[in-house]
Structure 1
Amino acid sequence: MIEIHRTFDLLSNKLLGWVQQFILLLPNLLITLLVLVATVFAARLTRRALASVLPRVSPGAVTLHSLISTLAYAAVLLVGAFFGLEVLGLDKTVTSLLAGVGIIGLALGFAFQDIAANFISGIIIAVQRPFTVGDVIQTDSFFGTIERINLRTLDLRQVTGELVRVPNRKVFEGAVTNFTVTTRRRVDVECGVAYSSDLAQVREVVLAAMQDFPELLTDQPPQVMFTAFADSAITFSLRFWIPYRRQVDYVGAKSEAIMRIKRAFDAAGIVIPFPMRTLELPAEVLARLGRGL
């Protein structure tokens, strides 16, 4: 019975001590609660303020604006949480949390190197803005129009309709050709004429066919350059410049130039030769063919 009473007294004293400590900590708990409420309010206010100010400072970088607002929101929450722990006297807990966050961050950095590289590349792309949504670019083996720029991937709509998500790291590290940034593009049309053709006449006919060409840039007139003595023709390249906004501008201009050259050559009697092959057969095969076998 004595042991039971001692155990009961120990439990009672322990519970009483906890209640007393809770009563003593009650003001600090109330202060911590107020701090957390104020922190949440301040974090939301900070995010809203940045969301309204950043588009005025650097319009167009929507992804970067969202990242900065989210990081600022998280930073304010962390500061408030650490301050609340300090009010409760949990200094060692704060130190342990900071050390744990550092170790976890280091481990995650090694485990998700590719994701981190894509994320950092996305931040750099959002800051430098080498291209924007709607630009026509070529990167790696993909060619198309940018539909969306995320912090991890770039959504590229190819001219054949497929949507390709290219990792930002490959875009950042590789070569990127932006066809939209200059607002103009040169069109090259390759063709060939027979060896018996008058090359001076060929040039005149091609340039005449390009008269009144739709949206032709006149500051750089069309050029006809003969390029090679090919197997069955003398080849040449027609070069001219057009305004470029979409890929259909380039494809349509090239198609129109080909049709104009064909009509002009037909009217002038200029021949566009096609490859010819000569077959040499043994005499006995020719004899059998002659007999109709």
Structure 2
Amino acid sequence: MRRLNFRYHRVLRAVLLGFLWWGALTTTVIAQDAATGPQNQAPPDKEDLSSAPAQVDVQPVAQDEEIRRRLLSVMEATGWFTNPQVQVQDGVVFLSGRAETDEIKKWAGDLARNTQDVAAVANRIELSQPSAWDFSGAWTGLSSLWRDFVRSLPFLVLALFILAFSVLAGWIAARTARKFLRRRVRGKLLRGVLAGGLGVFVFLAGAYIVLRVSGLTQLALTVVGGTGLVGLALGIAFRDITENFLASIFLSVQRPFETGDLVEIAGATGYVQQLNVRATVLMSLDGNLVQIPNATVYKTVLQNFTTNPNRRETFVVGIGYDDAIDKAQEVARKVLADHPAVLNDPEPWVLADDLGKATVNLRIYFWVNGKENSWLKVRSSVIRLVKRAFQLQGISMPDEAREVVFPRGIPVTLLDGIPEKTPSARQRQQPDAEPPSEELDAVATKAEAGLSSDAGELEQQARQAKPLDEGENLLRDAEQGRPPNVRE
């Protein structure tokens, strides 16, 4: 009975001590909060309250004063705190003062929490606000940068060495490729593009190795992938420029024309002066410089009159229905056969082409050496001589039939007797006398200024024109100083 009462008293005493401890703790906290006032009260976000311990000793071994002195001595010994203060009441530790960083504040709370017989920790340590003139953070950052720079010096030296080696290797690769392709690739522009592409590839490989050595593997992959994306974006943005550049490469390789060739491109006829990376330049027959984009040259129909120096010309002449067609054909054929600028091989033709309203139309075909003679002048000479021969042979060349309308009419008077015989068309068109001009029978008149080709005159006009500054002529072989494969 006495043992049971003793146990009962022990339990009752423990419960009373617990209530007393809780009351003392509550009273102390309320009193301290009232004493500090609202101005000195730490912000809720800066107070770190530890969780309740799993077990609280009823009779602690360490006293509050011993705990306070121990914690205060440790905090002062670190030198991390400004004006550190420690208060302990019934195992509850109250920390105050200032710390530089949140990690130091947390460290103080963990220190108090791990101290023997500490029931709870109220961490009221405030973080120090740096002064506006405090440059310690800047110096710390500079010091950190300097340390990082010193640590990265070996990698930097190695990266510079690899980068310099890649530049040199790219230059050597490009130069070697140019020498290797000089005899194997015809177009100089294509040789430059292939050699330059090889040099850039070698340099990018070196740059990739530099990034890998520096530990920037992800950046290296980004650069490699981004280069292709950037190239695709630039190709889309500058589609016309890219198209002209690629067309210039194809034209310089295929060589559909050479410098000085007479060509017709997109309706423009002239002598080729230059092929650059953007356009093809022609000297028109009127003496004007014409620039045609290379993309248009590559995609459009192109006629090269210099590839085959022989050029066929044609014109139509009408004779009367009363005239014999075979006679007119023979007269015209003889004129063509006797003309010095008309080629006998291929043979000229004189063909009946059409039956018109008032004439039988003959179409005359003949060939001219366009390299030696001007087809315009030869055509003019042939037309003039055929007309002259028809007149001398009495072959009529009537005008086209016309319908004449007289709105007010024409008075007609009938004559008495037999009307006078009206002359026939052949009789009306017979010349009274042959014109005594020797120039009419000449092959070339003064007005035609000879039959020679005018390519030399146009070349002289091109030299006198304003010089073009569009880049190098891709049709010229820099090694030989003349257009390659010149057509004789």
TM-score range relative to shorter protein: 0.7 to 0.9
For 1:114-193, what aligned pairs fall within 5 Å after superposition?
114-193=240-319
Question: Equivalent of 1:286, from 410, 424, 428?
Answer: 410
Partner of 2:395: 270
The alpha-carbon deviation at position 228 of structure 1 amounts to: 0.7
Secondary structure of the residue aligned to 2:337 is coil
Distance across 2 between alignment mates of 1:103 and 1:55: 32
How far is 1:242 from its partner? Answer: 2.6
* Counterpart selection for 1:105 from 226, 231, 234: 231
1:270/1:240 Cα in 2 relative to 1: closer, same or farther (>3 Å)?
Answer: same
Q: Give the TM-score of the pair, scaled to structure 1.
A: 0.80
The letter for the 2-side match of 1:222 is: P
3-state SS, counterpart of residue 147 of structure 1: strand
Amino acid across the alignment from 2:348:
P
Query: Is 1:249 the equivalent of 2:370?
Result: no
User: Match for 1:286: what amino acid?
Assistant: I
Alignment TM-score, normalising by the size of structure 2 = 0.51
- Provide Cα deviations, 1:265-286, integer angstroms capped at 9, x if missing partner: 233233333335342425x543
The SS at the match of 1:165 is strand
Report the secondary structure of 1:146's partner residue.
strand
Q: CA deviation at 1:185?
A: 1.9
**1:9 Cα shift?**
6.2
> Secondary structure of 1:76's match?
helix
- Alignment correspondent of 1:290: none
> Which residue does 1:36 correspond to in 2?
163
- Checking the alignment, whether the CA contact within 8 Å between 1:63 and 1:150 is kept in structure 2 is no
Identity of aligned residues (%): 29
Are the counterparts in 1 of residues 310 and 367 from structure 2 also a CA contact under 8 Å?
Answer: yes
Higher relative contact order (CA 8 A, sep 6+): 1
In the superposition, relative to structure 1, how do residues 52 and 173 fare at CA in structure 2: closer, same or farther (>3 Å)?
Answer: same
Structure 1: stretches of 5+ with no match in the other structure: 288-293
User: Aligned-pair distance for 1:193?
Assistant: 1.9
Q: Distance in 1 between matches of 2:341 and 2:179?
A: 41
Contact 2:166 2:203 in 1 (8 A): yes
Alpha-carbon distance in 2 for matches of 1:206, 1:259: 11
1:92 to partner: Cα distance: 2.1
Q: Could you say which residue in structure 1 is the equivalent of 2:211?
A: 85
Distance 1:58 1:103, change over 3 A: closer
Q: Conserved in 2, the CA contact under 8 Å of 1:187 and 1:253? A: no
The answer as to 2:171 corresponding to 1:68 is no
Structure 1 residues 151-191: Cα deviation after superposition (integer angstroms, max 9, x where no partner): 44332332223333323333333322232223322111222
For 2:324, the equivalent position in structure 1 comes to 198
> How many Å apart are 1:223 and its aligned residue?
1.0
Q: Given the superposition, is the C-alpha separation of residues 256 and 109 from structure 1 closer, same or farther in structure 2, using an over 3 Å criterion?
A: same
- Separation in 1 of the partners of 2:258 and 2:181? 17
- Structure 2: how far apart are the matches of 1:215 and 1:280? 46
Give, in whole Å, the separation in 1 of the partners of 2:406 and 2:384. 39
Which of 148, 155, 170 is 1:21 aligned to? Answer: 148
Structure 2 unaligned spans of 5+: 1-81, 83-99, 101-127, 412-488
- What CA distance in whole angstroms lies between the structure 2 residues aligned with 1:278 and 1:16? 106
- Judged with a 3 Å threshold, the aligned counterparts in structure 2 of structure 1 residues 103 and 280 are, in CA distance, closer, same or farther, namely closer
What is the letter of the counterpart of residue 203 of structure 2? L
Once superposed, what is the RMSD of the aligned Cα atoms? 3.2
Matched, 1:94 2:220: yes
1:181 aligns to what SS in structure 2?
A: coil
- Provide the C-alpha distance between the structure 2 equivalents of 1:67 and 1:242, rounded to a whole number of angstroms: 42
Conserved? CA contact 1:227–1:236, under 8 Å: yes
Q: Distance in 1 between matches of 2:401 and 2:384?
A: 24
**Counterpart residue identity of residue 169, structure 1:** A
Q: Structure 1 residues 270, 66: CA separation in 2 closer, same or farther (over 3 Å shift)?
A: farther
Q: Say how many residue pairs are matched.
A: 284
After the TM superposition, which parts of structure 1 deviate over 6 Å for at least 4 consecutive aligned residues? none
Q: What is the SS of the residue equivalent to 2:183?
A: helix
Q: Which has the higher helix share?
A: 1
Aligned-partner Cα distance in 2 for 1:260–1:228: 22
Residue 12 of structure 1: how far off its partner (Å) = 4.7
Q: How far apart are the structure 1 equivalents of 2:179 and 2:371?
A: 31
Which region of structure 1 is more displaced relative to structure 2, 112-121 or 235-244? 112-121
- Assess, with a 3 A threshold, how the Cα gap between structure 1 residues 244 and 83 changes in structure 2: closer, same or farther: farther
Deviation at 1:8, TM superposition (A): 6.2
Q: Which has the larger radius of gyration?
A: 2
- Give the partner amino acid of 2:366: F
CA distance in structure 2 between the aligned counterparts of 1:273 and 1:47, rounded to whole angstroms: 73
Cα separation, partners in 2 of 1:156 and 1:219, compared to 1, 3 Å: same
Separation in 1, partners of 2:224, 2:378: 62
| Alpha-carbon distance in 2 for matches of 1:214, 1:26 | 86
Are the counterparts in 1 of residues 337 and 344 from structure 2 also a CA contact under 8 Å? no
Task: Encode CA deviations 1:202-239: one digit per residue, 9 max, x unaligned.
Answer: 11111111234335443321111110112332111111
